[in-house]
Chains A and B, each alone.
Chain A
């Protein structure tokens, strides 16, 4: 944490000195061309710019609607677009009336799995040739920091006793969501976690693990007692439905949170870029669209880590609440969360 405070001021000044003339020269050109385009018409310039950014598959007869382009980017489809260089049509597969064709997000999921396998086989291999007292270097060091963070700050502090059993799931889900989010920020990539089906599947895993852990920790009788929230029997008619609904709201909240966060970021970035196309002005592009889009992009980098962490943290918390024994104060916390 302390290392963050020590930003070398000289390096900062150097970067600034590099950036300022760049920005200024860009501004001059923009102002000049904006003046030109306003004196002529501005129409064809903006249209060609639209083409350059998100490709001119169809030669944009009038103007593509911003909303359609954004929805095309957000939603899942069977076309993997590498716009200036063409696009890849993915095969359509229908088995027994079910459409199980391979889509953009499925390809991204495979890429994420391949990345995870590659990284962790590499890192795991490095540990084999090491003595216990040796410190890891490079990538292994970076991954070890994250793994230790999940192990101690997330699993151990939220689940407590017997956390080792749930650690593999928590680590898997953390790195899976993290790589999904990060690959979505790369150009031509798609955010698999911005698809509600993916996030729903992940939270269904959490749901089943939570329920099974609760059954194992308390037995059937204890589990049913948990549903009454320890209240007087006359209140059960209210408490039992609330507790049962509460079991389902938690994974639903996990689903919607991850999905909405990842989708919203992409919509904001695209909307900011489209402001300049709607207003047809280079000045707006340089003064508003690009800086704000970069800012939101950097924020998205942070959100990618934060949402992976929040999903893992809440999964651990739910498992911890389900397995907490009576008198741990677990129930007050559980009631407060509903």
Chain B
């Protein structure tokens, strides 16, 4: 059936796209955190905490996307 193939294709593409977004977002956070730590080494622990929280929230959004892709792949 044609529809099954398209659903698998969509799930695969969606998984990749979600990872692109999360990668860009977390990369930006890490870059800014490294910069901030270099400028102000005494604020390292605060920056690290903020970085982990923000990364976790972005990761959560990406995981929503991945879960939808998994559901799509399993249902088709």
Contacts and interface: CB of A to CB of B under 8 A. Distances in A.
Q: Give the size category of B's interface with A.
A: 10 to 19
Contacts of B67: 256, 260
B57 interface: yes
B40 interface: no
Contact of B60 (A257, A306, A309, A317): A257
Contacts of A310: 52, 56
Interface of A: 153, 157, 253, 256-257, 260-261, 306, 309-310, 313-314, 317, 337
B53 A317 contact: yes
Nearest to B57: A337
Interface string B39-76: 00000010001001100110110011011000000000
A337 B60 CA distance: 11
A314 B56 contact: yes
B49 A314 contact: no
A103 B53 CA distance: 34
Contacts of B52: 306, 309-310, 313
Q: Is the interface of A mostly helix, strand, loop or mixed?
A: helix
Nearest to A1: B44
Given A313-B52, A313-B56, 8 more contacts: A157-B49, A257-B56, A257-B60, A257-B63, A260-B67, A310-B52, A310-B56, A314-B56
B36 to A, nearest CB: 17
Contact of A256 (B45, B53, B57, B60): B60
Interface of B: 45, 49, 52-53, 56-57, 59-60, 63-64, 66-67
A240 B20 CA distance: 32
B30 to A, nearest CB: 14
23 contacts: A153-B49, A157-B49, A253-B57, A253-B63, A253-B64, A256-B60, A256-B63, A256-B64, A256-B67, A257-B56, A257-B60, A257-B63, A260-B66, A260-B67, A261-B63, A306-B52, A309-B52, A310-B52, A313-B49, A313-B52, A313-B53, A314-B53, A317-B53
Given A260-B66, A260-B67, A253 B49 contact: no
A330 to B, nearest CB: 14
Between B52, B60, B63, B66, the greatest number of chain A beta carbons within 10 A of the residue's beta carbon is seen for B60
B53 A260 contact: no
A313 B64 CA distance: 20
Contacts of B63: 253, 256-257, 260-261
B60 A253 contact: yes
Contacts of A317: 53
Nearest to B56: A310
Contacts of A257: 56, 59-60, 63
Contacts of A260: 63, 66-67
A260 B45 CA distance: 27
Contacts of A256: 60, 63-64, 67
A310 B67 CA distance: 19
Contacts of A314: 53, 56
